Structure 1
Amino acid sequence: MTSWKYDVNITRIESRINTDRPSKFDFFVDFHGQIGDDANVDALLGKLRGMTDRLLVLDEKEVHWFPRHISELDLIANRTLDAGVDLEADHPGFHDVAYRKRRAHLADIALKHRMHHETIPSTEYTREEVETWGMVWDTMKDLWEKYACKEYKTSMRLMERHCNYSRDAIPQLSAVASFLKEHSNFRLRPVAGLISSRDFLNGLAFRTFFCTQYIRHPSKPLYTPEPDICHELLGHVPMFVDRDFCDFSQEIGLASLGASDDDITRLARCYWYSVEFGLCREDGTKKAYGAGLLSSFGELEYACRDRVDGEEEDDERPEIRPWDPEVAANLEFPITTYQPVYFIADSLQDGKVKMRKYCEGLSRPFHALFNSQTETVHIDRPVRRAKGVPCSD
């Protein structure tokens, strides 16, 4: 290579067959140095221009900050939209001082956690919290058997066997996280409360799910105005045992890295209509794979139950559309009522393929690949990450 003569350090070189001229190769090279600020780099590029009929230089572009290594998830995990304590006035636990104190304690544990250096600390759940969990479990169990997809039911059997999933105990996040890491190379990271769509999706790029640990208020065991541990462990986590579903989630996460605000909104809608409220076909029937359905007794039946003979037409029945990320990305959704529209994929594999195709069509600042060995994201062009992400203590 000519680069050594100019004292330019190459960090990556890749060759690809030129699709327009199959007998030719294109070379992609990353190197240390700045165009215009480094005389050696400028001299090298001048030399290369005389050696080729096509030289494309990708200047550094500034993009939204995004994590490059899994340890950097700690920089975004604590940027909660609420602190897990400041409940809205209409929250069932708003006037319950003991409940708010408990939420503050669990939030503090999450805020102090550092995922790359520590195991998730154990939580001693109270009798009242376990009873709330048990009521949710008892209400959902028969509905899972009737309406959940086969991947979910297979995973739940594994979780019962290996992670102490039962009506009588809330599983420890550390045990669940260890099982997922071994089974599907997926991780859990406790958070104090809701985080932004960008930060949440960025975590999925590293096969990491930001997970709350508090539980809904006991006065309304079958209702929660926010994601809680019932939603996380009974809705989301069993699906993360399935590798295809993990890949599906990671596709959305990788597309979110450095994405524009508009594209984050589109990807968040795709996530909502699939990972949260997605349906799939199974032996000609509707089955649920979305966590928002699998943790809600009313909405699961609302979305999946077929109209029986003799039942009158009901305007409140939801609309079921074929899974199409292009359509879902531009469709707003309600967060306090049942969904008026659900999307159904032919299978989880069909959902993943269509999501990947949609992500490939986005005008992305770069394409990202996750290296599971180094737990690092590699990108295919030089960019500058915008400043402004606070350091983790």
Structure 2
Amino acid sequence: MATSSNGTSKPSFRKSYSIEYGYKPRKRTLIADAEFDREQHDEVQHKLQQTKIDEEGKDECTYTILVTIKDKRSASMLNLINTFNRDGLKVSHMETRPAAGSPTQKQSSEGLDVFMEVICTDKLMDDLKRGLLQSDSKFVLKNIKAHASSSSLSSGKESKEKNTENNTSDIIWFPMSIWDLDKCHHLHTSYQPDMDSRHPGFSDKGYRARREHIAQVAFSYRHGDLIPRVEYTTDEVKTWTLIYRQLKKLYPTAACKQHIYVIESLEKEGGFCETAIPQLEDVSRFMKRRSGFQLRPCAGLLTARDFLASLAFRVFQCTQYIRHPSSPLHSPEPDVVHELLGHVPLLSDPNFAQFSQDIGLASLGVSDDDIVKLSTLYWFTVEFGLCRENGQVRAYGAGLLSSFGELQHALSSKPQIKPFEPETTVIQEYQDEDYQPIYFLAETFEDAKEKLRLFAKSLKRPYELVYDAQTQSLQILDNVKVIHQLSSKLKLDMDVLEHALDRLHKNGINFRVI
């Protein structure tokens, strides 16, 4: 049990994204994590509810009890007193009288009615009733009534239950500023190879030690720090070189134009080359200049909720370790190859960066079910999305652009290609053991962004959020004052646009607003 800040007890349960702790998928994936988190949450809520039921039985209340002793000898009275003489039972008053129907004047052996007031919990009273009923007919339990008292039941107990319900309602915390991402650190679950026997590095002690060393970089990082540089080994660089060369051959005919363009820019300005693994700090500076996105080191996959939340602030959680050398063309979880060659190029594109941020903003404060939907949406777009370009199908998903085998598969005639519609995409089953049998095709990033925004409006959240790029923080639009301030800012922006359009018109430039 763990103790909360108000001193009450609550169950605490260990969670681990590994097969030993019930994590079933072969790969670590965002959808699998979201589904696992939801199942764990449901299990915890069930246990919390059971604990709540158990705790309710501990509320003391005053009972009036009427018991008839069939044999009024002193031994029978002593047995009754012994029945009540247990921990938690407090007899505040007791009186006896002849049993109903016995002649008052004779005091015969008809028995005695014993009237008592007892203060105890519901559970102890249940135990007491069972004890009296099982006392081989020495006692006859005639009546038990619960009464409101300063310690207990009735309106007081109902009020307590109501307050408990309010306190345990689903209030979902989410970061309000980019600095709050540091507070998500305790939710960070590192995926170490020693946690799953299916991992290629499970039996490699050297690789496991290397992963642990690189993980410490992420655990100690705080927003605003320079991302520490990792000195990669010769074998790690060889793995990078092998993958880099093979993917570069496919990009001209398989990758979307934005990805190709940014890769070329990264080779000129961001330290990309086939003979060295780029450093995250250098790449992060490049991204920030291009789209406002930046990298933050992490030791593995975050929980789905925390990972998506970071996107809301244009922060991409990025691993620094590289896959095991025995499996250079496949990794059971994201590694630096997947992040740098798959994600970074398009996150450096302003249009795609906005799409990713919109998914992050949509995830803040929503239910676990909606997190699963958004994780599925992310999977089939940011990870495995296809787009149309000059009549040709091209890849923009990072899972495709960092895996030459699946990239070739996705652009072949084997898989089924469906048009991207968020309502159908979020309920599509995904494949975690082999190539995807189904991919979703977006006509343009602009079209995908608009459909995503419409879908986000259907998610159940009692407020709207707006991101302030200047302060890298969020505002909750839940009162007139905040909305008025935002309206004033938007009015100033519109004035600037109107003046710009007037200048173009005066200069004889024809235009139309789309």
TM (norm. structure 2) is 0.59
Aligned AA (2:368): D
What's the counterpart of residue 431 of structure 2? Answer: 334
Higher relative CO (Cα under 8 Å, sequence separation at least 6) belongs to 1
Q: Does residue 274 in structure 1 map to residue 381 in structure 2? A: yes
> 1:75: how far off?
1.5
Q: Does residue 346 in structure 1 map to residue 453 in structure 2? A: no
Can you list the C-alpha shifts for 1:206-256, whole angstroms capped at 9, x where unaligned?
A: 011111111000111111110000000000011111001010001110011
Whole-angstrom CA distance in 2 between matches of 1:136 and 1:77: 31
Of residues 300, 316, 324 in structure 2, which corresponds to 1:193? Answer: 300
Whole-angstrom CA distance in 2 between matches of 1:86 and 1:71: 32
Can you list the C-alpha shifts for 1:65-97, whole angstroms capped at 9, x where unaligned?
A: 100011111111452333435341121111111
What's the counterpart of residue 32 of structure 1? Answer: none
Aligned AA (1:165): F
After superposition, residues 1-393 of structure 1 pair within 5 angstroms as 63-77=171-185, 79-115=187-223, 117-305=224-412, 307=413, 317-381=414-478
Aligned AA (2:249): D
What's the counterpart of residue 45 of structure 2? Answer: none
Whole-angstrom CA distance in 2 between matches of 1:284 and 1:238: 22
Answer whether contact 1:255 1:364 (CA < 8 A) is retained. no
Whole-angstrom CA distance in 2 between matches of 1:195 and 1:331: 23
Answer whether contact 2:466 2:475 (CA < 8 A) is retained. yes
- Richer in helix (by share): 2
> 1:365: how far off?
2.7
Answer whether contact 2:386 2:397 (CA < 8 A) is retained. yes
Aligned AA (1:292): G
> 1:334: how far off?
1.8
Aligned AA (1:204): L
> 1:318: how far off?
1.0
| Structure 1 runs of 4+ with >6 Å offset | none
Answer whether contact 2:226 2:281 (CA < 8 A) is retained. yes
Answer whether contact 1:259 1:365 (CA < 8 A) is retained. no
Aligned AA (2:405): G
> 1:196: how far off?
1.1
Whole-angstrom CA distance in 1 between matches of 2:458 and 2:296: 30
Whole-angstrom CA distance in 2 between matches of 1:102 and 1:66: 32
Counterparts in 2 of 1:353 and 1:173: CA distance versus 1, 3 Å: same
**Which ranges in structure 2 are unaligned for 5 or more consecutive residues?**
1-165, 480-514
Answer whether contact 1:67 1:73 (CA < 8 A) is retained. yes
Question: RMSD in angstroms over aligned alpha carbons?
Answer: 1.7
Answer whether contact 2:359 2:378 (CA < 8 A) is retained. yes
State the SS of the aligned residue for 1:268.
helix
Whole-angstrom CA distance in 2 between matches of 1:216 and 1:365: 42
State the SS of the aligned residue for 2:308.
helix
Can you list the C-alpha shifts for 1:359-381, whole angstroms capped at 9, x where unaligned?
A: 12222232111111111111112
State the SS of the aligned residue for 2:262.
helix
Whole-angstrom CA distance in 1 between matches of 2:299 and 2:185: 8
Whole-angstrom CA distance in 2 between matches of 1:286 and 1:266: 25
Whole-angstrom CA distance in 2 between matches of 1:335 and 1:367: 34
Give the total of aligned pairs.
313
**Higher alpha-carbon deviation: 370-379 or 61-70:** 61-70
Aligned AA (1:81): T
State the SS of the aligned residue for 1:72.
helix
Answer whether contact 1:203 1:210 (CA < 8 A) is retained. yes
Whole-angstrom CA distance in 2 between matches of 1:172 and 1:78: 25
State the SS of the aligned residue for 1:63.
coil
**Which ranges in structure 1 are unaligned for 5 or more consecutive residues?**
1-58, 308-316, 383-393
Counterparts in 2 of 1:103 and 1:78: CA distance versus 1, 3 Å: farther
What's the counterpart of residue 391 of structure 1? Answer: none
Whole-angstrom CA distance in 2 between matches of 1:291 and 1:118: 27
Answer whether contact 1:83 1:107 (CA < 8 A) is retained. no
